[in-house]
């Protein structure tokens, strides 16, 4: 196709995209009083009025834990209001506005909530959680529960603000609390539920952890269709599940992770749960298939499945059963996460036959950094072998790399570049900026060596709000800007590798990378335009995706 005609077609794609996005969003700004009668009648029919709980998710529309707990509580007859408070935009997390906070309080009051729970999935949200908790307490007097990864990693800190904290798996602990409240037992007298800590004045009551739930099939499927779902974003309240129109259904088939990566919270959680049961657990194939069948009925714009496990389950018997049943009963393209040691031609050929299209695989960095800092011993030859298999099977390979660590020297950055240059195109790079989570092995190592301070750890720091995925507008040293720009250019098939080698050998660019950064940004704009056009053509371009990623000043790498 001539370039001029291609440009015209691209403009048409974007025009259709705007039309699609403005017409496809079904959630609406809601006057809460309009649906009050529906919700009150719904609650009365359940017969439990002593416990009306709000589950609040911070900056996380995909929050699986909130949906699962909401489904469990509703199954047992409790009124639950799910509130998705804010979302990230343009690779940036903005603090809550006064209007957004007031809307949250308005919602809690109008729904007659008598206990609020905040899901603190990321440590960067700590200050926001504190702000919300203080406002809820001041404006409503409601008790506030905190749960989520940060609370488990930092329980002593969290209980200083929250009235109750969930320091382990939360489903049955929260259910027991609601059941006792529902029977009329006053909160002041409840102090003895496993996995929960209670703050009673100056006294902290720390209950023991329960054993881990090993049979994951006992949980109900996540709830996407109940009436009482709200999103608070950009000073508005919208009713309805914010993910219901998404073309990609995300599902988790396991808990925990079989690996021990030092930068990941799993490295700490495994130690916390030591002796309490099997840490890495998986759902049965039949249970997964049943949830996906339900999703096909519920998500009317469904195009693809994303298995969002830390690492997809590749046990041979599980994969064989999954391949047969998924192809027969679901038959949609899907994507998953893997690890280089798990990649074999036989295994991934079976997965492709089932519908596998996109594979995310962690590389992280050069071998020295990956081994010494991240506790991952994956030889470069194994990484190259895995990349070659994914290429030969014509799978869409997306490699995850972590930049901005404090230990990499020039030789490490060169080695990483050469490793990635050895891969056959096409492939994608997902570049992340190292985020140091509290009480992880990476945090411990860097603190012990005096390389970082406590103020550089998420919770006290909020780097996630500024730089989760790498963008070239973020301030870096010239050499680091140079390497980031070079990696951005590496995934652009229209830029020959011979030119990249010339950039690599140009010592002046390493000291003055401005021209290279500009070229990388321009190449990003071109590629992202075609990525957006492809999503639009496949019916996968939603307003949420557009809002999250379209930022001309701070475009992430792709």
Q: Tell me: the pLDDT tens digits for 359-371? A: 999 999 999 999 9
Calpha distance 96→59 (Å, rounded)? 10
Average pLDDT score over the chain: 88
Note the pLDDT tens digit of each residue in 461-481: 988 888 888 989 889 999 999
Note the pLDDT tens digit of each residue in 479-511: 999 999 999 999 999 999 999 999 999 999 999
Q: Supply the pTM of this predicted model.
A: 0.86
Whether pLDDT at 35 is above 80 = no
The pLDDT confidence band at residue 537, using thresholds 50, 70 and 90, is confident
Return the bridge partners of 461, or none.
458
Return the bridge partners of 57, or none.
84, 119
The answer for 249, left when phi > 0, alpha when psi is -120 to 50, beta otherwise, is beta
The average pLDDT across 376-394 equals 96
> To which H or E segment does residue 415 belong?
helix 410-421
pLDDT of 313 reads 82
The average pLDDT across 172-195 equals 95
Give the C-alpha distances (Å, rounded to integers) separating 206 from 167, 195, 270.
9, 8, 20
Whether pLDDT at 457 is above 60 = yes
> 171, 219 in Cβ contact below 8 A?
yes
Calpha distance 106→103 (Å, rounded)? 5
The average pLDDT across 378-387 equals 96
> 233, 100 in Cβ contact below 8 A?
yes
The pLDDT confidence band at residue 526, using thresholds 50, 70 and 90, is confident
pLDDT of 421 reads 97
> 93, 126 in Cβ contact below 8 A?
no
Calpha distance 157→151 (Å, rounded)? 8
First-to-last alpha carbon distance for the chain, in angstroms, is 24
Whether the CA torsion 427, 428, 434, 440 is positive or negative: it is negative
The residue assigned the tokens 């809601």 is 30
Whether pLDDT at 513 is above 50 = yes
> 267, 440 in Cβ contact below 8 A?
yes
Whether pLDDT at 18 is above 70 = no
Letter string b/e over residues 325-360, b meaning 16 or more CB atoms within 10 A of that residue's CB? bbeeebebbbbbbbbbbbbeeeebebbbebbbbbbb
Rounded to the nearest 5°, which phi and psi values hold at 56?
A: -110, 120
Cβ neighbors of 334 (< 8 A, separation 6 or more) are 304, 305, 306, 307, 326, 354, 355, 356, 357, 358
The pLDDT confidence band at residue 524, using thresholds 50, 70 and 90, is confident
Q: Which of 232, 301, 336 is nearest to 541 (CA)?
A: 301
Q: What share of residues in the chain are helix, strand, coil (percent, to 5)?
A: 45, 15, 35
pLDDT of 530 reads 80
Q: Which tokens in the block code for residue 100?
A: 């957004």
CA 17, 224, 158 angle in degrees (round to 5)?
A: 105
The residue assigned the tokens 């925990």 is 256
Q: Is 296 exposed, middle or buried (0-12, 13-18, 19+ CB in 10 A)?
A: middle
Calpha distance 388→406 (Å, rounded)? 30
Q: Cβ of 47: how many Cβ atoms within 10 Å?
A: 8
- Beta strands 28-29 and 236-239 are antiparallel
Provide the edge-to-edge strand list for the sheet that holds 334-338: 248-251, 304-307, 334-338, 356-364, 396-403, 428-433
Whether the CA torsion 174, 179, 184, 189 is positive or negative: it is negative
Q: Cβ of 229: how many Cβ atoms within 10 Å?
A: 25
> 83, 107 in Cβ contact below 8 A?
yes
The answer for 112, left when phi > 0, alpha when psi is -120 to 50, beta otherwise, is left
Whether pLDDT at 109 is above 80 = yes
Three-class SS state of 248: strand
> 465, 127 in Cβ contact below 8 A?
no
CA 487, 249, 278 angle in degrees (round to 5)?
A: 85
The pLDDT confidence band at residue 533, using thresholds 50, 70 and 90, is confident
The answer for 446, left when phi > 0, alpha when psi is -120 to 50, beta otherwise, is alpha
Report the Cα 133 to chain-centroid distance in Å. 23
pLDDT of 268 reads 92
CA 377, 383, 385 angle in degrees (round to 5)?
A: 135
The pLDDT confidence band at residue 25, using thresholds 50, 70 and 90, is very low
The average pLDDT across 538-551 equals 69
pLDDT of 546 reads 67
Q: What is the DSSP letter of 456?
A: G
Structural domains in the chain, sorted by start? 9-25+484-558 (no CATH), 27-230 (3.40.50.280), 246-470 (3.20.20.70)
Whether pLDDT at 43 is above 80 = no
Whether pLDDT at 14 is above 90 = no
Whether pLDDT at 123 is above 50 = yes
The average pLDDT across 18-38 equals 35
The pLDDT confidence band at residue 9, using thresholds 50, 70 and 90, is very low
From 86-95, 234-243, 304-313, the region with the lowest mean pLDDT: 86-95
186-190 contacts, C-beta under 8 A, 24 or more apart: 187/115, 187/143
């Amino acid at each position: 196709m001539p370039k001029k005609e291609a440009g015209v077609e691209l403009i048409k794609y974007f025009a259709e995209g705007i039309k699609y996005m403005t017409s496809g969003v079904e959630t609406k700004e809601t006057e809460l009083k309009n649906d009050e009668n529906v919700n009150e009648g719904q609650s009365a029919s359940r017969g439990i009025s002593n416990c009306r709980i709000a589950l609040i998710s911070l900056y996380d529309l995909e929050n699986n834990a909130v949906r699962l707990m909401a489904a469990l509580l509703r199954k047992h007859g409790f009124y639950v209001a799910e509130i998705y408070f804010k979302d990230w935009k343009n690779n940036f997390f903005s603090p809550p506005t006064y209007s957004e906070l007031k809307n949250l309080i308005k919602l809690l009051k109008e729904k007659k909530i008598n206990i609020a729970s905040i899901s603190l999935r990321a440590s960067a949200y700590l200050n926001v959680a504190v702000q919300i908790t203080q406002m809820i307490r001041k404006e409503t007097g409601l008790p506030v529960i905190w749960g989520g990864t940060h609370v488990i990693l930092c329980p002593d800190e969290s209980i200083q603000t929250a009235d109750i904290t969930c320091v382990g798996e939360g489903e049955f602990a929260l259910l027991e609390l609601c059941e006792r409240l529902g029977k009329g037992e006053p909160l002041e007298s409840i102090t003895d539920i496993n996995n929960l800590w209670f703050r009673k004045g100056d006294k902290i009551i720390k209950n023991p952890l329960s054993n881990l739930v090993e049979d994951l099939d006992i949980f109900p499927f996540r709830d996407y269709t109940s009436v009482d779902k709200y999103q608070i974003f950009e000073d508005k309240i919208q009713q309805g599940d914010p993910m219901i129109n998404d073309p990609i259904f995300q599902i988790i088939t396991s808990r925990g992770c079989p690996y021990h990566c030092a930068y990941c919270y799993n490295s700490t959680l495994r130690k916390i749960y030591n002796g309490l049961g099997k840490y890495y657990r998986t759902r049965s194939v039949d249970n997964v298939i049943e949830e996906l069948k339900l999703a096909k009925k519920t998500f009317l714009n469904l195009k693809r499945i994303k298995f969002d496990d830390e690492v997809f389950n590749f046990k041979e018997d599980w994969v064989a059963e999954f391949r047969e049943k998924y192809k027969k009963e679901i038959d949609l393209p899907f994507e998953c996460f893997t690890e280089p040691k798990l990649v074999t031609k036989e295994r991934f050929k079976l997965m492709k036959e089932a519908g596998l299209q996109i594979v995310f695989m962690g590389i992280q960095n050069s071998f020295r950094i990956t081994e010494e800092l991240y506790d991952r011993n994956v030889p470069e030859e194994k990484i190259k072998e895995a990349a070659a298999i994914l290429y030969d099977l014509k799978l869409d390979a997306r490699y995850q790399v972590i930049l901005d660590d404090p230990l990499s020297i020039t030789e490490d950055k060169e080695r990483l570049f050469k490793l990635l240059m050895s891969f056959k195109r096409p492939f994608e790079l997902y570049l992340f900026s190292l985020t140091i989570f509290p009480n992880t092995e990476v945090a411990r190592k860097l603190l012990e060596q005096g390389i970082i301070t406590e103020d550089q750890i998420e919770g006290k720091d909020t780097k996630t709000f500024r730089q989760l995925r790498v963008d070239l507008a973020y301030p870096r040293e010239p050499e680091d800007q140079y390497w980031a720009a070079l990696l951005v250019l590496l995934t652009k098939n229209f830029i020959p590798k011979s030119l990249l080698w010339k950039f690599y050998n140009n010592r002046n660019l390493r000291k003055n990378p401005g021209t290279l950064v500009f070229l990388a940004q321009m190449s990003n704009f071109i590629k992202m335009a075609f990525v957006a056009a492809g999503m639009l053509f496949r019916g996968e371009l939603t307003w949420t995706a557009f809002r999250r990623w379209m930022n001309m000043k701070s475009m992430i790498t792709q």
